[in-house]
Amino acid sequence: MKQRSALDMYANGTAWWETSISDIKKNEIIIRGYPIEELIGNISYTQMLYLLLCGEILSEKKAKLLESVLVAGADHGPRAPSIAAARMAATCGISFNSCVATGINVLGDVHGGAVEKAMHLFYETASLLDTHPEKELSSIVKEKFVLFQREGKKIPGFGHQLHDDDPRVRRLYGLAQRLIEEGEIKGRYLAIAEAYRTQLERAKGKKITMNIDGVAAAIQCELSIPAEAAKGIFALSRGMGIVAHAFEELQNGVLIKGPCPNRDDLVRYSGPAKRHLEK
Amino acid sequence: MKQRSALDMYANGTAWWETSISDIKKNEIIIRGYPIEELIGNISYTQMLYLLLCGEILSEKKAKLLESVLVAGADHGPRAPSIAAARMAATCGISFNSCVATGINVLGDVHGGAVEKAMHLFYETASLLDTHPEKELSSIVKEKFVLFQREGKKIPGFGHQLHDDDPRVRRLYGLAQRLIEEGEIKGRYLAIAEAYRTQLERAKGKKITMNIDGVAAAIQCELSIPAEAAKGIFALSRGMGIVAHAFEELQNGVLIKGPCPNRDDLVRYSGPAKRHLEK
Amino acid sequence: MKQRSALDMYANGTAWWETSISDIKKNEIIIRGYPIEELIGNISYTQMLYLLLCGEILSEKKAKLLESVLVAGADHGPRAPSIAAARMAATCGISFNSCVATGINVLGDVHGGAVEKAMHLFYETASLLDTHPEKELSSIVKEKFVLFQREGKKIPGFGHQLHDDDPRVRRLYGLAQRLIEEGEIKGRYLAIAEAYRTQLERAKGKKITMNIDGVAAAIQCELSIPAEAAKGIFALSRGMGIVAHAFEELQNGVLIKGPCPNRDDLVRYSGPAKRHLEK
Amino acid sequence: MKQRSALDMYANGTAWWETSISDIKKNEIIIRGYPIEELIGNISYTQMLYLLLCGEILSEKKAKLLESVLVAGADHGPRAPSIAAARMAATCGISFNSCVATGINVLGDVHGGAVEKAMHLFYETASLLDTHPEKELSSIVKEKFVLFQREGKKIPGFGHQLHDDDPRVRRLYGLAQRLIEEGEIKGRYLAIAEAYRTQLERAKGKKITMNIDGVAAAIQCELSIPAEAAKGIFALSRGMGIVAHAFEELQNGVLIKGPCPNRDDLVRYSGPAKRHLEK
């Protein structure tokens, strides 16, 4: 990614809005080369998303695996800030899509962002394996782990606030294994993820589970999705839950829902005691 | 939809965050009654969305039809304000999901909002047919048309700035017809939409085509989706294009892309001539 | 407000981006005719906002009154959905400005939107007084009140969930009175607001107080601000609180703050009991 | 900034919504210790913002200087992505505040974000001066410059796409100088900024000017504002222009304004040629 100003690019002959995604003309809509009418009814939501994002049509089996990831992340209830923000928005008198935007706006580096970080780590680990064929996966993983520890960083993709045996992870892992057995995906990134899990378990001396971010990251690496695309994909996965929760709140017709009821133990002022302006 | 304050509802014994969508407990995620691990890999993105939003699992054929609507609306190029806003956001240094939120935030009453308006009209027309069994569809439609004219309003779902034979419309219409023939959907709302098209054609004395909003509205009515849900569904459809375009811009690495190049014919100041503060 | 497509306007010779607000050229920035360097240091934030929005420079005394309205609405603590949404956003890993946008995005028709509605009502009442010089204010107000009741609507600008003697209202009211006495503003809209308060008190048989929206609306009417501008002005008033609260949360370094702690009484699932997919 | 989960903090006895900014009770609103009714009419917008953000009331002269910064950044016309995004939003049928949020959402690391980066650099330079009293400012600045060059980074706060003698910069610089002479501010950060300008000029062998971000950063450092607060402050400065431009577009009543007119030289598809799905 070069860093140039839009004006410089334009001065060099690029159109102001240059895109390789779609070509829109009168009565013709081309997506990555395909006429839209051939895509509608023939490819799934997930294949369309991959085509738009990555340029090619994913095989049906791979698309089903990616679809499983989208379904798995769709909702985690109103305690998730994204869901709560969208529901609160729905009680404040803005349009439905703006409620959805409010929820998606908060799916940042921290809330859902671990997928991207884990993908970077897994891709980097694979690349180290390629450039150091003499090394074993477990030793590369150990080196990375030591590096992360030294920098005070957490290995992304493991552990969860609430779950220690997340039903989504078990299921996604199983679906991915089936595709490995069928030869549809290689399993390289799932093995890398598993190696990190083992390393963490050994280092901490306790059971460590992959979380939904970790398994989603490994699967998306198997499908050659760029790490930088992860937040956009998650926006459309959790987007489903955001849409549904905002809609439920809109239908309830409740006005101005704040984050919590008026109870003293939930909100506390810790600033200076009452004082007055100097005259 | 009652209009009550959140505090009143809470005072009446409702939980602050009451939902019938999902139940999240340790190692258990229930969606509309279903354990999440049974849904993952077994239902499609579109079925999951419908389940979250409407509470039940759509049949596979119906889900494919709705999926076709989602695929059809995914992109309309960077001249669409939603796509452009997301791409501009991507050059300004905010996180990817916030770029997506920027695009979705503008999919309001005007940009994509015609689907909701058309659904309201089609549902209302069906309801008039039910309560006035003695009347013909064409005469109810004509009365509505006259009413809209008197109020200076456009019948939503017909005509397009660019297309007069939109390939998406033809294709979606054909897919829906197939499902009518198979008995999966009744075709009532497609007939209503067609009746409005005929009425418009007669009144204007020229060829009128249904637009993507019109056919999407008729299909969503066939699937009993509430009109008020339309903007949320479109957010996830156009959301795909928004994600892809923002990603393309992020990968380009261009900085601060405004809406258009620096050319005098594109931006013009029409305010007061230069003046000075009174001393 | 005409409703035309942007393409039609452009076809008629309007520039794509036509504005009477500012003219930006090399080393020259003109705002409503004034060179920016003459404004900087000479006019206040509030005067600049009014100049940008309404085209002229507000007198110092009037600007101080509007500034008082901006200061008064700046914060209402983390139970306000706008403040809470911005704080939650700050724990999710997005940029500071995106946290601010998240908060401002929810300041819609319901949350803060009563100012616009009250301004419409006050302007309309004044216009009825003008066109019916034979009628008394109190009787026009009574007719409006009856009309609102018949339509099941609330008179905007009166009553508050929490306060029944809001210190902001008392103070703003006093500041406005002083300007009436000094002849800076006419007091017409404050009198109209007071007439509605009296009517409500009489009709309900209990003490009714003007709320912050009501007094803010009356003052903005005194300053000839269009009702439709109210949400934008409030965005910059409450924007201060949103900025400060998001910043406090960013500085705290807390991760993923949902709306409420994990306590059973705050979140409740009310959907179907556990069930399973049909095979 | 510690990085802890919200649940951990709550488990340790912190209230879920703990704040030192405001305390809201029935008929009482306390801001940083001050009753709101003492602030309204007595302090300016800028003083209120500083009080909310930093906890204390800024002296009138300092507040005027900060206000000048807010006024200076208010607008840069519809070619700025923030302004354009807000105007486009206004043509799409969402509420006014959501248009404002759309504009503010894009004021990220790149668009306006240089202020924060420059403040970090200036504070760091001052801190190096403190810890290395034996070194001259010019040599510390030179070392920093070499470091930035080595990392391929630009010194933030200098140079502009359009202006090379920005009238805002000249004016703000002059106002700041006056306050130095009056002993209100020390001028340390303005001297640091000037030292970077001189270093850049020497290194590039051509005239280099401070840009609006650079002078705004130096002034905000003089006022002890944390660098991390800069994006929030700019949101309320540029927020004025965003509000005014969105309002102008709303009043125009134009529908669905994309970024540019339909002209072939402005939008270009560069993806694959037309192709078809394999059967």
Q: What is the DSSP letter of D112?
A: T
D109: closest chain C residue by CA: C95
pLDDT at residue D12, rounded to an integer:
86
Instruction: Report the residue of chain A nearest B23, measured CA to CA.
Output: A77
Q: What's the mean pLDDT in A161-172? A: 93
pLDDT band, very low/low/confident/very high, at A7 (cuts 50, 70, 90): confident
Alpha carbons D73 and D211: distance in angstroms, whole number: 11
Q: What are the residues of chain B with a beta carbon less than 8 Å away from any beta carbon of chain D?
A: 77-82, 84-85, 88-89, 91-94, 98, 101-102, 105-111, 113, 161, 255-262, 266-267
Residue that is written with structure tokens 């304004």 in the block: D257
Give the mean model confidence (pLDDT) for residues B158-165: 89
| Residue-wise pLDDT tens digits, C26-41 | 999 999 999 999 999 9
8 Å CB contact between D34 and A277:
yes
Three-state secondary-structure class, residue A186:
coil
Select the residue of A10, A17, A240 nearest B52 (Cβ to Cβ).
Answer: A240
Taking the CB of residue A205, how many other CB atoms lie within 10 A of it? 7
The whole model's pTM is what?
0.96
How many whole angstroms separate alpha carbon D169 and alpha carbon D209?
9
> Which of A82, A87, A111 to mutate: most C Cβ within 10 Å?
A111
Mean pLDDT over C111-123 rounds to 96
Q: C2 pLDDT band (50/70/90 cuts)?
A: low
| pLDDT tens by residue, B44-83 | 999 999 999 999 999 999 999 999 999 999 999 999 999 9
Range list of H helices, D91-136? 96-105, 114-131
Residue in C260, B99, C75, B30 with CA at minimum distance from that of residue A81: C260
Q: Crossing angle of helices C212-222/C167-181, nearest 10°?
A: 20
Contact assignment for A88 to C85 by CB distance below 8 Å: yes
Partner-chain residue, chosen from A52, A76, A91, that has the shortest CB–CB distance to B74:
A52
8 A C-beta contact, residue A80 and residue A111: yes
Q: Which residue type occupies A29?
A: I
In this structure, are residues C46 and C58 in contact, taking their beta carbons and an 8 Å threshold?
yes
Mutate to test the interface with C, among A248, A256, A269, A276 (most CBs of C within 10 A): A256
Average pLDDT over residues B200-214: 96
Which of C66, C97, C77, C116 is CA-nearest to residue C237?
C66
Contact assessment for residue C103 and residue C83, using Cβ atoms and an 8 Å cutoff: yes
As a whole number of angstroms, the distance between CA A208 and CA B170 comes to 53
**CB C253, CB D5: distance < 8 Å:** no
Q: Which residue has the tokens 């695309």?
A: A229
Chain D: closest CA distance from residue C104 (Å): 6
Higher pLDDT, A3 or D19: D19
Residue D278: predicted pLDDT = 82
D110:B255 CB<8 A: yes
For helices D230-252 and D96-105, the axis angle rounded to 10 degrees is 140
Burial A113-123 (b: 16+ CB within 10 A, else e): bbbbbbbbbbb
For the ranges A273-277, B196-200, D31-35, D233-237, the lowest mean pLDDT is seen at A273-277
Q: What are the pLDDT digits (tens) for A240-255?
A: 999 999 999 999 989 9
Cross-chain CB nearest to D77 (options B84, B108, B267): B267
CA distance B54 to B48: 10
Q: Which residues of D touch C84 (CB under 8 A)?
A: 17
Distance, CA of C253 to CA of C172 (rounded, Å)? 37
Cβ atoms C94, A111 nearer than 8 A: no
Q: How far is D245 from chain C (nearest CA, A)?
A: 7
Cross-chain CB nearest to A84 (options C78, C161, C258): C258
**List of chain A residues whose C-beta atoms are within 8 Å of the C-beta of residue B102:** 101
Q: In chain A, which ranges are continuous DSSP H helix?
A: 6-11, 36-39, 45-54, 60-72, 81-90, 96-105, 114-131, 137-150, 167-181, 188-204, 212-222, 230-252
Which residue among A85, A257, A260 sits closest to C89, beta carbon to beta carbon?
A: A85
Beta carbons of C81 and A256 less than 8 angstroms apart: yes
Question: What confidence tier does C13 reach under pLDDT thresholds 50, 70, 90?
Answer: confident
CB contact under 8 A, B101 and A104: yes
pLDDT at residue A13 tops 90: no
Task: Decide if pLDDT at B2 tops 70.
Answer: no
Report the chain C residue with the minimal C-alpha distance to residue D38: C171
With an 8 Å Cβ cutoff, are C266 and B32 in contact?
no
Mean pLDDT of C126-152: 97
Q: Which residue of C has its CA nearest to A112?
A: C92
State the pLDDT at residue D1. 45
Per-residue tokens: A121: 């780590």
State the pLDDT at residue A2. 58
Give the Cα separation of C157 and C148 in Å (integer). 13
Query: How large is the ipTM?
Result: 0.96
Which of B58, B60, B97, B237 is the best substitution to test chain A (most A C-beta atoms within 10 A)? Answer: B97
- The helix, strand and coil proportions of chain C, stated in percent and rounded to the nearest 5, come to 55, 10, 35
The whole-angstrom separation of Cα B263 and Cα A12 is 15
CA atoms within 13 A on the CB side of D222: 31
Is D274 within 8 Å of A35 when comparing Cβ atoms? Answer: yes
- Within 8 A of A93 by CB-CB distance, chain C residues are 108-111, 113
Residue D262: the pLDDT is 86
CA distance A25 to chain D (A): 10
CA distance A80 to chain B (A): 10
Beta bridge partners of C25: C28
User: b/e string for D175-207 if b means 16 or more Cβ within 10 A?
Assistant: bbeebeeeebbebbbbebbbbbbebbeeeeeee
What burial class does residue A109 get, using C-beta atoms within 10 Å of its C-beta: 0-12 exposed, 13-18 middle, 19+ buried? Answer: middle
Instruction: Quote the pLDDT of residue C1.
Output: 44
279 residues of chain D, pLDDT tens digit each: 467 888 888 888 889 999 999 999 999 999 999 999 999 999 999 999 999 999 999 999 999 999 999 999 999 999 999 999 999 999 999 999 999 999 999 999 999 999 999 999 999 999 999 999 999 999 999 999 999 999 999 999 998 888 999 999 999 999 999 999 999 999 999 999 999 999 999 999 999 999 999 999 999 999 999 999 999 999 999 999 999 999 999 999 899 999 999 888 899 999 999 999 987
Give me B99's structure tokens. Answer: 């770029």
Residues of A within 8 A of C82 (CB-CB) are: 92
Whether the Cβ atoms of residue C239 and residue B1 lie closer than 8 Å to each other: no
Q: Say if the Cβ atoms of C170 and D37 lie within 8 Å.
A: yes
Helices (H), chain D: 6-11, 36-39, 45-54, 60-72, 81-90, 96-105, 114-131, 137-150, 167-181, 188-204, 212-222, 230-252
